[in-house]
Structure 1
Amino acid sequence: MKVTIIGGSGFVGTRLIENLLLSEDVHIANLDKKQSDTYASLTQIADVTDASSIRAALPGTDVVVLLAAEHRDDVSPTSLYYDVNVQGTQHVLEAMAENNVKHIIFASSVAVYGLDKENPTETLPADPFNHYGKSKWQAEEVLQAWFKNHSDWTISIVRPTVIFGEGNRGNVWNLLNQIASGKFMMIGPGTNRKSMAYVGNVVAFLQFLIQNKNSGYEVYNYVDKPDFTTNDLVYHTGKVLDKKIPTRRIPYWLGMLGGYGFDVLAWVTRKKLPISSVRVQKFCAVTQFDSSKAMGSGFVPPFSMEEGLRRTLKSEFGK
């Protein structure tokens, strides 16, 4: 089986390639607009905004895993979200059709639900609040429309929550780094629960979908349970690293006021800053999602949530 990963040079894609290389009967190709630091020999430079570059690289492919996306919350201009996430998905589908490839696994996001939803299942109507979530939802609509005219295809959409793990430098790493360094400031009471996903489990689920092909259209949330509160993360960080974590607290309204101040400063200086009103809002939001469909599919996560967090903390901050 030939698996073509589009956007596989990043954090999740690199771990997926690592897992797939353990299977002798899988041939892997990585298409990305940047070279892979780890798997250069498997990588071909291509960009989803350039349909011809994708089309030329797909002959012989059995399944496409589409990971390529604009996902940061400070992308400029915002049209890039739609050029890459929406139009790029359309380009990939057209390239697949021209190469008779009928199996795609698409990495979407729980951002399609919006903020402060109560443990949503896959059937909850989309209500995205930012350009990333809106563009991911529009990409899913492209896939829905495509399946109506291609009912013999296998289309699997995975909506992971925030992903963490060894080697990642995203939002969870920033939070854990602040906690571990003792520079952490809690905004609000810290009782809001955060659904998270360990990268080792996410790529294992993607591999499960690659290997268990069933024609049809399916959508899966991916979340590792239990959902920790921010207070829980402080506790587990201290326990794993065997250190007392001091915690300063400020009320939510003051945190948001500070976030708006950084928004103005970023606009004036034209610089990307680590603090913004959007990031404060996301930090304090309840982000719980139901993952019973994925866990009822026959997939068994290889790592517990606690083990994933322990591995990450030991790798990134252990002495």
Structure 2
Amino acid sequence: MFESFVIFGGCGFIGSHMQRLLREKYPDAKVYVADLLADGSELSQKVDVREPIEMQGKFGKNTLVFNFAAIHRTPGHPDHAYFETNIRGAENVCNFARKHGIENIVFTSSIAPYGAAEELKTEETLPTPNTPYGISKLVAEKIHREWAAENENHRLSIVRPGIVFGTGENGNMTRLYKGLKSHKFAYAGRRDTIKACIYVKDLVRVMLEMAEKSLVEPQIDKVQLYNCCYYPSFTIEQIANAMLKAVGMKRHIPYIPKTPMMAAATVCGMLGGLGLGICPARVKKLMVSTNIEAKKLARDYPLKFTLEEAFADWWNDCNQKCLE
């Protein structure tokens, strides 16, 4: 099995959870964190994936690389930043693997390559990205696939997660909780918007299991691709109700039609988002489904947490305070 691990983007939200999982499951292995925010020690090395990667350590065919390094929040960055980090980073991570004879990579892509549309997307759906982030992630997938094709021993796992939530997220689900608690959340234009999502503990477990399985089961495709979210995906109403139940909160959630909702978002954006990141672009995203099918994942790597269990586990992990 694996003797060492390298986590590019290891100081981030998903990377931090992967660190904990690896140290629990592989206590004798070296877990190298490569990140701009690393502390500079042997196991936590400062790395900018936009530049050729030089790291100190013992790496080889028994090393597993996780590539989580990315610019991802959208909207929020200039277009060139997504391409510079996500595409150049993919090239440099793959070159690092080539240099050290590493044979197994897990790459975290996104559902963004599918593009924004209401139609159901499976792993067989033709990607039609319509944002710089989605385009950069699709190109990065291709770069990793090229690496995988170079050697019959190379194994690649690509995951396309929906919204990832859990301790340290500070993103969509955190904003949802804060909006519910402060009575500032409303259904924007519709209640049935589908929002594919996955709990971070399930995601990191699944990614590690994919890499492990590729070593011991030769019939596994050398390139694995999975949509990573609940199957079937939940609507925003189901998500909000599950969160309320998990944290013991009772709220009536109002419904605001699209036109007044966008007008209110424009005003809130001019006032700095009222501390909730409210702006027209984010509200518009709330009204577009991420209708992703993860039937394949449910068959091969079933999730351990239901949606309500995931919210409750997150709530308990942080002593009911991390979402405040």
The normalised TM-score by structure 1 is 0.87
**Cα deviations by residue, 1:212-251 (Å, 9 ceiling, x for unpaired):** 2256112111112343222223322332333321323221
Partner of 1:138: 139
Unaligned segments of structure 1, at least 5 residues: none
Give me the whole-angstrom Cα distance separating, in 2, the residues matched to 1:34 and 1:286: 34
Give me the whole-angstrom Cα distance separating, in 1, the residues matched to 2:98 and 2:248: 54
Partner of 1:10: 12
Superposition deviation, residue 203 in structure 1 = 0.8
8 Å Cα contact 2:119-2:291 kept in structure 1: yes
Task: Kindly indicate whether residue 289 of structure 2 is the aligned counterpart of residue 286 of structure 1.
Answer: yes
Give me the whole-angstrom Cα distance separating, in 2, the residues matched to 1:90 and 1:58: 21
Structure 1 294/101 Cα, relative in aligned 2: closer, same or farther at 3 Å?
A: same
Q: AA paired with 1:169?
A: N
Task: Kindly indicate whether residue 36 of structure 2 is the aligned counterpart of residue 33 of structure 1.
Answer: yes
Structure 1 317/6 Cα, relative in aligned 2: closer, same or farther at 3 Å?
A: same
Structure 1 116/62 Cα, relative in aligned 2: closer, same or farther at 3 Å?
A: same
Structure 1 260/148 Cα, relative in aligned 2: closer, same or farther at 3 Å?
A: farther
Structure 1 109/5 Cα, relative in aligned 2: closer, same or farther at 3 Å?
A: same
Structure 1 152/242 Cα, relative in aligned 2: closer, same or farther at 3 Å?
A: closer
Give me the whole-angstrom Cα distance separating, in 1, the residues matched to 2:77 and 2:194: 30
Partner of 2:218: none
Q: AA paired with 1:10?
A: G
SS in 2 for 1:53: coil
Superposition deviation, residue 117 in structure 1 = 3.9
Superposition deviation, residue 31 in structure 1 = 0.5
Match of 2:244 among 238, 244, 253: 238
Give me the whole-angstrom Cα distance separating, in 2, the residues matched to 1:273 and 1:32: 28
Give me the whole-angstrom Cα distance separating, in 2, the residues matched to 1:5 and 1:66: 6
Superposition deviation, residue 28 in structure 1 = 0.9
8 Å Cα contact 1:167-1:316 kept in structure 2: no
SS in 2 for 1:150: coil
SS in 2 for 1:167: coil
Give me the whole-angstrom Cα distance separating, in 2, the residues matched to 1:192 and 1:65: 32
SS in 2 for 1:193: coil
SS in 2 for 1:203: helix
**Cα deviations by residue, 1:275-294 (Å, 9 ceiling, x for unpaired):** 33331222111112111222
Give me the whole-angstrom Cα distance separating, in 1, the residues matched to 2:314 and 2:41: 25
Give me the whole-angstrom Cα distance separating, in 2, the residues matched to 1:151 and 1:254: 57
Partner of 1:108: 109
Partner of 2:261: 255
The normalised TM-score by structure 2 is 0.86
Aligned Cα RMSD in Å? 2.7
Give me the whole-angstrom Cα distance separating, in 1, the residues matched to 2:267 and 2:178: 23
**Cα deviations by residue, 1:162-198 (Å, 9 ceiling, x for unpaired):** 1011232111111122113322122113111221100
8 Å Cα contact 1:63-1:104 kept in structure 2: yes
Partner of 1:71: 72
Q: AA paired with 2:304?
A: P
Give me the whole-angstrom Cα distance separating, in 1, the residues matched to 2:166 and 2:278: 22
Superposition deviation, residue 259 in structure 1 = 4.5
Partner of 1:296: 299
Give me the whole-angstrom Cα distance separating, in 2, the residues matched to 1:273 and 1:244: 20
Q: AA paired with 1:59?
A: F
8 Å Cα contact 1:115-1:129 kept in structure 2: yes
SS in 1 for 2:255: strand
Count of residue pairs brought into register by the alignment: 310
Structure 1 165/74 Cα, relative in aligned 2: closer, same or farther at 3 Å?
A: same
Partner of 1:223: 229
Task: Kindly indicate whether residue 158 of structure 2 is the aligned counterpart of residue 157 of structure 1.
Answer: yes
Partner of 1:172: 173
Unaligned segments of structure 2, at least 5 residues: 216-220
Task: Kindly indicate whether residue 59 of structure 2 is the aligned counterpart of residue 59 of structure 1.
Answer: yes
